[in-house]
Amino acid sequence: MMRKTIKVGIMSKPDYIKRTIAIAKGDYKPKKGEPKVWFESLGSMAQVLGAENQELLKVIIEKSPHSLGELEALTGRKKPNLSRTLRTLERYGVVSLEKDCNRVVPRVNATNFKVEFGLGSGA
């Protein structure tokens, strides 16, 4: 499976809201290559892409678990914790959670991340 690079942006919530409204109104058209995934701060990005979750992604890549139960056994993390973490990672496009015979199978979509941010206003 080919893994891609996700370009992520850092933007304050008020600026993100302004940007989203401007896009919806047609006042702003995102440029090609702009991030599609946004975090409110470097801290929130670090929570999602931190060391513990990087280790989880490595286990998924290396062991290819066929269910959350199998991933639980491989990592020692409880299923509710894994499920919550994987849903968050899915929201940011890092993983896909595929349904297969009443099982949820995690797949890693991205292994590289480029971060873009500035101190100015969004749109």
Name the token pair of 62: 């290396």
What is the edge-to-edge ordering of all strands in the sheet holding 110-117?
37-39, 4-10, 110-117
What pLDDT is stored for residue 122 in this prediction?
47
What pLDDT is stored for residue 1 in this prediction?
52
What pLDDT is stored for residue 36 in this prediction?
85
What pLDDT is stored for residue 45 in this prediction?
92
What pLDDT is stored for residue 9 in this prediction?
93
What pLDDT is stored for residue 48 in this prediction?
93
Compute mean pLDDT per 10 residues along the chain, 123 residues long, and list them: 81 91 94 90 92 95 94 95 95 91 91 81 48
Rounded Cα–Cα distance for residues 89 and 80 (Å)? 14
CATH of 4-117, one of 1.10.10.10, 1.10.3720.10, 3.40.50.2300, 3.40.30.10: 1.10.10.10
Rounded Cα–Cα distance for residues 101 and 78 (Å)? 21
What pTM, to 2 d.p., does this model score? 0.81
CA-CA distances (angstroms) from residue 31 to 9, 28, 58? 13, 9, 32
Residue type, 98: E
Which positions ≥6 away from 64 have C-beta within 8 Å? none
- CB neighbours (10 Å) of residue 48? 16
What pLDDT is stored for residue 33 in this prediction?
87
What pLDDT is stored for residue 63 in this prediction?
95
- How does DSSP classify residue 112? E
